[in-house]
A and B are shown apart, each in its own frame.
Chain A
């Protein structure tokens, strides 16, 4: 017994204990639910069988039923628009800001750091603020756009079917932009300065320097940022209940929020689980890209 205790205290046992506790917790509360989710997608899970341990299996019925839902393709399309729109906005604006703040001027890193407040705010508060900014009648964004002459009449961001998904995208770009900028700034700072000096001596202009030095040197960082952006966008949930609730008529609904609605508003837990399994496959793809890009980062 005391040998065992010594092994725990002084040997590898101590490490196994430390990792084991965390892994056990994660297996119980993340691994097991994940597998349970797949199981549920093949079962009949409704209000009556919710508390039952052994539920009837229904094969692929849930999958067939989900694909046959009238909103399925709309939600799929919205998810792609949401992911693509959010990522493009976050990345392009984040990169532009990162390049700007990479210049040498007083206060650069402090001001850049301030941008990150958007990232630590509760998603629901961010949604609430943007809900007011994007309001159709009295929202300040419409006032600004009109005074700049960009639009002639008010856009009803949240209730116009053509704009509702963009209302959530705009809020999500604001939310994720700072984190993109921060990671890209780290990548920029790691590029050796003498490369630029040499290129400048050779007569390369700013665009050529960006194209031949910055972009190639940033490739691993860009890979990591894009895949983190994809993962973060797929994880976004809080903005939907705060802004549009997926409406009007599901024109701003995406897979994550739809899955939750199926389970917790329609109590169709089987379909909810089925949609989340589909979504997990999408996330799995994104994370394989992420792990591959971070590998390069560590070795490079």
Chain B
């Protein structure tokens, strides 16, 4: 093979690898379009004979998806709001100074980032029960999930703030700006894109939140889409076209947002996760 063809050969291999890796997503959409007998055909068809999207409106209505998705949006929105409001300032300060206390703070944030939700869910449930917060289960989930999301947000946004030149801020202070003024008029606008990407990532992961919602929210009318999906999932489930249609409805907005923002998300992640 001559040198000129090598890049194109690599591109073909890359596309093949991506196709294999993304096959589970393809399989989700294909399965959701298959009808009863074709579902269990042997060998399976890799392209549906008579694609039938009829299952989508049916699942949408039968599984009460509007309610579940609304709750997901409410919970994810609440988590994102708390995380962005409290986390941005924290990340800014952690990025600006270099001393022992900042190191201690950063260490604590990193430690909190590694706490598994399954370690936290029991004490949170018992604690919320004692202070009566279980009567407002969605709020309780938002608080718990925001505490889970914030350390990751802080670590990523801190990397964004570190790329904002300090001199710009100092110049603003010399020009007579207050610290608050300099923060809001100079630093925040420059870091806006990074913060926005991290906020979207926070929203995406909170949109899929499961363990706190499952443990804390009892009433189906307040549960998010993840708990709604688990309702007809299990080792013995067979209603695969419905499950895949539900999954597709749930996950397609996230996939679209990801594909649109891919470059920014990838660069935001790489700058934060290793530093």
Q: Taking beta carbons and an 8 Å cutoff, which residues of A are in contact with B?
A: 9-11, 14-15, 17-19, 21-23, 25-26, 29-34, 36-37, 40, 45, 50-51, 53, 97, 100-101, 103-118, 120-133, 135, 137-138, 140, 143, 147, 158-159, 174, 177-178, 182-183, 185-187, 221, 224, 228, 231, 234-235, 237-238, 241-245, 247-248, 256-257, 259-260, 263-264, 269, 272-273, 276-277, 279-280, 283-284, 286-287, 290-291, 294, 297-298
CB distance from A10 to the nearest CB of B (A): 5
Jot down 15 A-B pairs with beta carbons below 8 A, ordered by A.
Answer: A14-B183, A19-B89, A22-B90, A97-B17, A116-B269, A121-B208, A124-B230, A129-B24, A174-B21, A182-B266, A257-B118, A260-B215, A263-B215, A280-B116, A297-B274
Contact with A along B97-109 (1 / 0, CB 8 A): 1000000010111
CB distance from B266 to the nearest CB of A (A): 5
Does B86 sit at the interface, judged by CB under 8 A?
yes
User: Secondary structure at chain A's binding surface: helix, strand, loop or mixed?
Assistant: helix
Given contacts A40-B126, A183-B274, contact A234 B211 (CB under 8 A): no
Given contacts A22-B90, A105-B14, contact A33 B124 (CB under 8 A): yes
The reply to whether B129 and A263 contact each other, CB–CB distance below 8 Å, is no
The reply to whether B7 and A105 contact each other, CB–CB distance below 8 Å, is yes
The reply to whether B233 and A128 contact each other, CB–CB distance below 8 Å, is yes
CA of A297 to CA of B111 in the docked complex: distance in angstroms?
Answer: 18
Does B61 sit at the interface, judged by CB under 8 A?
no
The reply to whether A9 and B178 contact each other, CB–CB distance below 8 Å, is yes
The reply to whether A283 and B255 contact each other, CB–CB distance below 8 Å, is no
Beta-carbon contacts under 8 Å, B107-156 to A: 107-112, 114-127, 129-130, 143-144, 146-148, 150-151, 154
CA of A21 to CA of B114 in the docked complex: distance in angstroms?
Answer: 21
CB distance from A114 to the nearest CB of B (A): 6
The reply to whether A260 and B121 contact each other, CB–CB distance below 8 Å, is yes
CA of A263 to CA of B214 in the docked complex: distance in angstroms?
Answer: 12
CA of A25 to CA of B135 in the docked complex: distance in angstroms?
Answer: 20
The reply to whether A29 and B124 contact each other, CB–CB distance below 8 Å, is yes
CB distance from A112 to the nearest CB of B (A): 8
Does B265 sit at the interface, judged by CB under 8 A?
yes
Does B244 sit at the interface, judged by CB under 8 A?
yes
Q: Which of B7, B115, B120 contacts A104, CB < 8 Å?
A: B7
Q: Which residues of chain B come closer than 8 Å to A297, judged between CB atoms? A: 274-275
Using CB atoms, name the residue of chain B closest to A190.
B274
| Further 19 A-B residue pairs, CB within 8 A, beyond A26-B112, A120-B254, A138-B44 | A10-B178, A21-B89, A22-B90, A30-B115, A31-B112, A112-B14, A117-B255, A124-B208, A128-B247, A135-B240, A143-B43, A183-B273, A235-B116, A241-B230, A241-B233, A257-B118, A264-B125, A273-B123, A286-B114
Sorted nearest first, the 7 A-B pairs with minimum C-beta distance are A122-B208, A18-B89, A22-B90, A29-B147, A256-B118, A105-B10, A33-B123
Q: Which of A34, A132, A228, A283 contacts B240, CB < 8 Å?
A: A132
Using CB atoms, name the residue of chain A closest to B225.
A122
Given contacts A53-B130, A290-B110, contact A34 B123 (CB under 8 A): yes
Most chain A CB within a 10 A radius of its CB, from B143, B180, B273: B273
Using CB atoms, name the residue of chain B closest to A247.
B235
Q: Which residues of chain A come closer than 8 Å to B119, judged between CB atoms? A: 34, 37, 256, 259, 276-277, 279-280, 283
Q: Which of B108, B127, B229 contacts A125, CB < 8 Å?
A: B229
CA of A50 to CA of B214 in the docked complex: distance in angstroms?
Answer: 19
Q: Which residues of chain A come closer than 8 Å to B111, judged between CB atoms? A: 284, 287
Does B174 sit at the interface, judged by CB under 8 A?
no
Q: Taking beta carbons and an 8 Å cutoff, which residues of B are in contact with A?
A: 6-8, 10-11, 13-15, 17-18, 21-22, 24-25, 27-28, 31, 39-40, 42-44, 82, 86-87, 89-90, 92-94, 96-97, 105, 107-112, 114-127, 129-130, 143-144, 146-148, 150-151, 154, 178-180, 183, 201, 204-205, 207-208, 210-211, 214-215, 226, 229-230, 233-235, 237, 240, 243-244, 247, 250-251, 254-255, 258-259, 262-263, 265-266, 269-270, 273-275
Q: Which residues of chain A come closer than 8 Å to B269, judged between CB atoms? A: 116, 182
Q: Which of B116, B151, B237 contacts A131, CB < 8 Å?
A: B237
The reply to whether B14 and A101 contact each other, CB–CB distance below 8 Å, is yes
Q: Which residues of chain A come closer than 8 Å to B201, judged between CB atoms? A: 120
Q: Which of A31, A32, A174, A187 contacts B24, CB < 8 Å?
A: A174
The reply to whether A132 and B244 contact each other, CB–CB distance below 8 Å, is yes
Q: Which of B151, B247, B263 contacts A129, CB < 8 Å?
A: B247
Q: Which residues of chain A come closer than 8 Å to B97, judged between CB atoms? A: 15
The reply to whether A25 and B243 contact each other, CB–CB distance below 8 Å, is no
Q: Which of A10, A114, A291 contacts B110, CB < 8 Å?
A: A291
Using CB atoms, name the residue of chain B closest to A14.
B179
Q: Which residues of chain A come closer than 8 Å to B120, judged between CB atoms? A: 30, 33-34, 37, 276
Q: Which residues of chain A come closer than 8 Å to B240, judged between CB atoms? A: 132, 135
CB distance from B251 to the nearest CB of A (A): 5
CB distance from B146 to the nearest CB of A (A): 7
Q: Which residues of chain A come closer than 8 Å to B179, judged between CB atoms? A: 9-11, 14
